[in-house]
Amino acid sequence: MSTIGAGDNFNAGIIKALLDFDINKTDELLLCPNDWLHIAAYGIEFSSEVCMRIDNYVDNTFKTTFSENIRRRLVSPN
């Protein structure tokens, strides 16, 4: 396991979540705890993926399992 790139990929996951959920900078940006849970799940999924790869990058197969992994992460009690 390597943590090289984990922070960068966590940030990439956060940005992907903001884009997917159409969250833009506004004067009245109000997010509930559940919104933050979903946003953080994206970041965690991206950073977890890169930590499990010896080459420290997210490969093309990641996108095929991403949605299912997010769903599982959100319903898991851990």
Distance separating alpha carbons of residues 48 and 24, to the nearest angstrom: 26
Dihedral sign for Cα 18, 20, 21, 23, please.
positive
Q: How far is CA 44 from the centre of its chain?
A: 5
What is the pTM for the complete model shown? 0.80
Determine the pLDDT at residue 77: 57
Mean pLDDT taken over the chain: 86
pLDDT in tens, 1-31: 678 888 999 999 999 999 999 888 876 778 8
Q: Which residues of 44-54 are buried (b: 16+ CB within 10 A; e: fewer)?
A: bbbbebbeeee
Tens of pLDDT, residue by residue over 36-64, are: 999 999 999 999 999 888 887 788 888 88
What are the sequence ranges of the domains in the chain? 6-22+30-73
pLDDT of residue 2: 73
